[in-house]
Amino acid sequence: MPGAVIVGTQWGDEGKGRFTDYLAKDASLCVRYQGGHNAGHTIIVDGEVFKLQLVPSGVLYPHVTPVIGNGVVVDPAVLISELDMLSAKGVETSRLRLSGNAHLIMPYHQEIDRVTERYLGKNKLGTTKRGIGPTYADKALRVGLRVQDLLDPKIFREKLDLVLREKNGLLSKVYNRLPMDANEIAETYLNMVPRLEPHIDDTVHLVHESLEAGEWVLFEGAQATYLDLDHGTYPFVTSSNPIAGGVCTGAGVGPLAIQRVVGVVKAYTTRVGSGPFPSELLEGDPIGDDLVERGREFGTNTGRRRRPGWLDLVMLKHATRLNTCTELAITKLDVLSPLKELKVCVGYLGDDGTRYEHVPYHQSVMHKIKPIYETLPGWGTDIERAEKISDLPVEAKNYVQFIEDFTKVHVSFVSVGPSRDQLVVLPRGE
Ligand code: GDP
Ligand code: IMO
Ligand code: MG
């Protein structure tokens, strides 16, 4: 039963989308298992740029069935506009399957996301304000509306009336906002049903049919390991489980259905939003500014500047454990090309002098640790046209080897530019 997972090993935006796109060549299904339109995945094919938020990156191949699994939270208006965008670019989208069990992001979720962030002031999480947290919270509270509720207008309306009473109390009495109108929400959502209905399906069944037929099923992670609700830098995380284990609940398979786990790692680190970041290059640091500039590190989704930093191998090693990575895919190696020296974080120092070889579990420690760096030589030459490992300068090969030696996980891919073909594949043993 061959299932493969693409998972981010840092704080997101590692370049997962391009690897889903690459591996989808051999897959029959491509399944999103968590998150929502807080994700922004960029794929460049023959110079054409595709920015996807909800639809799995495998949609670009006609042989792949893209699937939005039960673990995803869906804003139906965003989904429809993404399908329209893809159709306008000539991509066939009728194959898209949408789980009836996926939860709906409602207008009050987005409003609550916005007002709670404002309320938190300087303690804000820096969310994407897409309503992700409030939607997952309602799922856990068992008052969420699901995609399947759209197919029964009476039930949809009953559930909406019930939940809106509480939400309107919260919005008007706690946050001093105007209450929302159930008629308006119901009309907007139910008007979208004719567009959505042809896509709604039993996606768990589809995934198992495909696995049993011996076909490759690709599970596309959004966000990343350190944004994971349980294993990330809580509370500066998202509200779902992006780690590979999230596939089991978010797509409905057991762990033994997963054979391959590709951990995607940017050759340096970036983070959007608030939270600890030990190897951060603080604003004003010329190397950090250069990484942002050369790597175009501005959010696909919100346009925010991503915080840059050196590669943190301690976090990466922990991520390979949390996800049981069978291999790593390194992205954006080309962005490091002009640098004379490269630092990689290989340990941490606590403020009491304790040396940490692992990611400290306690957030008070995590917030104060200082990185211990090892310095490696840069290569100082363009690598954007490299097609095979032997095309890379020795310093670049050593950088990749250092990552492999530290994590003890095979590096299968190195990308050297954003296009589909700017990719070096490394068979095991090379
Ligand atoms: P995702 O959220 O993990 O799918 O990643 P994003 O799409 O948000 O961010 C990755 C960005 O890096 C996109 O703009 C990609 O086009 C770009 N990118 C991916 N791989 C490479 C690479 O090897 N080199 C360069 N220069 N850019 C890359
Ligand atoms: P992809 O899939 C980077 C971050 C937000 C914020 C935190 C919580 O493109 O890698 P949320 O809106 O999820 O409640 O915000 O998570 N975040 C991401 N950062 N890439 C993403 O997705 C992200 N999705 C959420 O910036 O810090
Ligand atoms: Mg992204």
List, for residues 291-307, the tens digit of each pLDDT value. Answer: 999 999 998 778 899 99
Ligand nearest the Cα of residue 42 is: 1
- The residue whose CA has the least distance to atom 12 of ligand 1 is 15
For residue 425, the CA-to-ligand 1 centroid distance in Å is: 17
203 lines ligand 2 (CB under 6 A): no
**Cβ pair 282, 310 in contact under 8 A:** no
User: Which atom of ligand 1 is found nearest the CA of 39?
Assistant: 2
Residue 253: what pLDDT? 98
| pLDDT for the residue 345 | 98
pLDDT at 1: 59
CA nearest ligand 1 atom 10, residue: 15
How many whole angstroms separate alpha carbon 193 and alpha carbon 187?
A: 10
Q: What is the pLDDT of residue 257?
A: 96
- For this structure, is 367 an active site residue? no
Q: From the CA of 164, how far away is ligand 1's center (Å)?
A: 39
pLDDT (0 to 100) of residue 300: 79
Q: Using CA atoms, how far apart are residues 145 and 40, in angstroms rounded to an integer? A: 24
- Ranges of residues in the chain whose predicted pLDDT is under 70: 1, 429-430
What is the pTM assigned to this prediction?
Answer: 0.97
Atom 20 of ligand 2, nearest CA residue: 12
Give residue 302's pLDDT: 80
Name all residues whose Cβ lies below 6 A of ligand 1: 8, 12-18, 40-42, 44, 296, 300, 331-332, 334-335, 415-418
The residue to mutate among 10, 11, 42, 420, having the most atoms of ligand 1 within 8 angstroms of its beta carbon, is 42
- Which of 37, 41, 103, 199 is catalytic? The answer is 41
41 is annotated as an active-site residue: yes
pLDDT in tens, 98-132: 999 999 999 999 999 999 999 999 999 999 999 99
Distance 126 CA to ligand 1 centre (A): 21
Q: How far apart are the first and last CA of the chain?
A: 28
CB 21 within 8 A of CB 43: yes
d(CA 20, CA 36): 16
13 lines ligand 2 (CB under 6 A): yes
